Structure 1
Amino acid sequence: MRTRNHLISVAAAEFDRNGYDGTSLSRLSRSADISIGAVTFHFSAKGELASAVENAGWSATRRVVEGVTARGGPALDTLSALVLALGRLVETDVAVRAAARLTQERAGAGPEWCCCWLPEVRDLLEQAAAQGQLDPEVDPRPVAVLTAHLVGGVLARARRSRAGRPGEVTGELGELWWLVRRSIAAAPAERPAEGRAEGSAEGPAGSEMPK
């Protein structure tokens, strides 16, 4: 089991860096310092290893999504917390980045990575509109598309900035999301009376959206 998990971890880094076509089992064998025979004992083909990496990235993402949405509170605050949590996850978890890349590049891959979080983004935007938290002229659907593009940009930045300062990419996302939120939120007088739920705009690590 340790060898299998080590292979998945090494493969995630290789797939994230080089993509599916740019990664071979022999390359993985060298990177993991494991014989090619041991690699094929656990994964008979590169596609099997890629599927294991995709599953690891998907599971990690679902844990974050479910953890944030389970807190409840005003929908727009929950959405903000989810966006920032996804940014932190993408920046810190190579399996998540690899899964996002593999599900776009690999023939026969499972659903694209965004499918495990974008439906919640759409639902939260619809809830925010129903609760009067969005400007009446804002259509939730293009905001969901914009959010997907923002997270996609974080993926690209995190992949290029592996040697950057920890938290740098997530910080950039926080600044951009603050601009988005300010442009879509209802004016203060139009916000519902219940106000903010304490801590509802925080992600798993306690990072709060700027006001």
Structure 2
Amino acid sequence: MSAAAIHTFTALLLAHVLADFLFQTRWMVAHKRNPLVLVLHAALVLGLSLAALGGWSDWVLVLAGAHLASLVAVAVVAPGPWQAGAWAGLPWLLPLFALVAGLILTTRAGGFAVGELMAPYAEVDLPRGLEKGGLLIGLLERGLIFLFVLAGQPSGIGFLIAAKSILRFETASKDQRAGEYVIIGTLASFGWALALSYATLRLIDLLPPLETGPVHD
């Protein structure tokens, strides 16, 4: 991909992530087969895409009802919308967009991904804890992994693994099924976070530096 395509892709990626994982409500997910809800979601994607690009592009209409593969396709076929938008003179926005999109994909989207993986094992009887405590733990651990990787300190992830192993030791030792459930969920959560964190780091490497000073040609 050309630099222009990567810039356009980054802006569209942020819009897509915001539309799917922050602004899409549980009601919208539950009624996603309703044509009116589909139109509402498409309008949300359209509006956020135009806002991220800083201007109008006919190609954004292609994305209104589509997903990630379409982002890449549109960015490659029509790499110019970012350069033609209002934010083109602020290239430092691009790595910021990548950071925000990467963080949301690592934490919130990771929760959905791990939840889908663990759904077949939902009958496992786990000790009762705080309401939504497991969800919050997952968000925090993936968020910390993201910060460790982006800060160039991946060794800190070892402390997370050790801490979680100690806290979950009693559960794992008393019930093999519950222990295996915890191990699978933990490995999936850590694996997802590592993959998305390094992918975010790679995308940032392809973008202009995160600087707010004047840009010189």
Shorter-chain TM-score bucket reads 0.3 to 0.5
TM superposition score normalised by structure 1 = 0.36
Is the helix fraction higher in 1 or 2? 2
TM superposition score normalised by structure 2 = 0.35
